[in-house]
């Protein structure tokens, strides 16, 4: 058999656990059932804690750190950015319903006019452009990342509420899902290898987090001070398995984020958390 065919077989059997074209709601309930069956003692609401849900010691360290987060000063800087009016006198708050309160759970969404998935960081940039400012680079943690770290706190506690409600949205969701289950790179891993099949187990000394809940708590501060948006995390994981990473803000990553966020539907958001 040739290599490509073998690899295809591999991908197909990974997908086997999920019907390739199931409705999103069906995927969601199947995925939850899978994890509930595998880890009956881990409560669904604790999936937002990622690996800490699987390790009581690590969880208590996490909670200690979160009492006085070492990155509060960054979030304060983000608040200044958020509150500072554009030259035309308007603010970021003017671009969102409710002044930006309880909105992030509706992102990403599929925009039929733009024919693409728009995530919250892109929406912040759209707001800048609408008010005569240059957009930030989507991968720039020092500008967009910092702004994001405050803007998202306004939706803390909101439940993830991503909708897949048009043919275009369905197609984007499907692309994101295919990405998640596709093996890539020299090491031949899919996201699903680590965050689905072997989630909850250890790769060397690192526990692997389940993909349910992974989209709820961004940005994270790795090591307490390095700000990562969700898509920057995608880059890290792809590099780790020697796959060629896509660009932050690319259609591929937006679709992946769309799928991943849908899989966190119903779980509470909490911006700015510590991660190792």
Partner 1 sequence: MLKCTSLILAMGLALSAAGAAHADAAAAASKTGVKDSGCLLEKNMPGKLIAFDRSKGNCLACHAMPSQPDAVAAGTIGPALINMKLRYPDKAVLREHIYDEMRFNPSTAMPPFGLNKILTPHEIDEVTDFIYGL
- Interacting residue ranges for partner 1, rule: CB under 8 A: 3-4, 6-14, 16, 182-190, 193-194, 197-198, 201-206, 238-239, 242-245
Q: How far apart are the C-alpha atoms of 214 and 46, rounded to whole Å?
A: 11
- Residue with Cβ nearer ligand HEC (164 or 183): 183
Convert 9-29 to b/e letters by CB count within 10 Å (16 or more is b).
eebeebbeebeeeeebeebbe
Q: Which residues pair with residue 111 across a beta bridge? A: 116
Please tell me whether residue 50 binds ligand HEC under the rule CB under 6 A. yes
- Residue with Cβ nearer partner 1 (42 or 159): 42
Please tell me whether residue 206 binds ligand HEC under the rule CB under 6 A. yes
Cβ within 8 Å of residue 136, ≥6 positions away: 124, 125, 128, 143, 144, 147
- Residue with Cβ nearer ligand HEC (158 or 256): 256
173 by Cβ neighbours in 10 Å (0-12 / 13-18 / 19+) ranks as buried
The distance of closest approach from Cβ of residue 118 to partner 1 in the complex, given in angstroms and rounded to an integer, is: 24
Please tell me whether residue 193 binds ligand HEC under the rule CB under 6 A. yes
Helices (H), the chain: 3-15, 24-38, 56-67, 72-83, 120-130, 146-151, 167-181, 191-192, 230-240, 251-262
16 binds, among ligand HEC, partner 1, none (CB under 5 to 8 A by kind): partner 1
Please tell me whether residue 194 binds ligand HEC under the rule CB under 6 A. yes
The distance of closest approach from Cβ of residue 179 to ligand HEC in the complex, given in angstroms and rounded to an integer, is: 7
Provide the phi-psi class of 118: left if phi over 0, else alpha when psi is between -120 and 50, else beta. beta
- Residue with Cβ nearer partner 1 (98 or 206): 206
Q: Which residue has the CB atom at the shortest distance from ligand HEC? A: 191
For residue 194, indicate whether it is catalytic. Answer: no
List of residues contacting ligand HEC (CB under 6 A): 50-51, 189, 191, 193-195, 203, 206, 208-209, 214, 220, 230, 233-234, 237-238, 240-241, 256, 275
* Residue positions annotated with a catalytic role: 237
């Amino acid at each position: 058999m040739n290599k490509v065919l073998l690899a295809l077989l591999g991908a197909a059997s990974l997908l086997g656990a999920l019907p390739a074209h199931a409705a999103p709601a069906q995927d969601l309930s199947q995925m939850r059932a899978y994890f509930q069956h595998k880890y009956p003692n881990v409560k669904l609401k604790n999936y937002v804690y990622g690996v800490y849900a699987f390790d009581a010691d690590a969880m208590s360290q996490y909670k200690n750190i979160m009492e006085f987060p070492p990155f509060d000063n960054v979030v304060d800087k983000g608040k200044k950015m958020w509150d500072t009016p554009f030259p035309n006198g308007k603010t970021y708050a003017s671009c969102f319903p409710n002044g930006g309160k309880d909105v992030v759970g509706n992102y990403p969404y599929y925009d039929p006019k733009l024919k693409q998935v728009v995530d919250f960081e892109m929406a912040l940039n759209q707001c800048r452009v609408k008010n005569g400012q240059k957009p930030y680079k989507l991968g720039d943690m020092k500008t967009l990342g910092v702004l994001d770290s405050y803007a998202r706190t306004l939706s803390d506690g909101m439940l993830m509420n991503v909708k897949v409600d048009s043919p275009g949205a369905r197609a984007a969701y499907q692309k994101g899902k295919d990405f998640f289950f596709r093996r890539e790179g020299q090491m031949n891993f899919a996201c699903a290898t680590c965050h689905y099949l072997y989630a909850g187990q250890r790769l060397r000394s690192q526990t692997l987090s389940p993909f349910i809940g992974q989209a709820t708590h961004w940005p994270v501060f790795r090591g307490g001070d390095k700000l990562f948006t969700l898509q920057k995390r995608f880059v890290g994981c792809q590099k780790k398995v020697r796959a060629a990473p896509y660009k932050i803000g690319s259609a591929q990553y937006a679709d992946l984020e769309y799928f991943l966020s849908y899989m966190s539907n119903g779980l509470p958001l909490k911006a700015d958390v510590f991660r190792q």
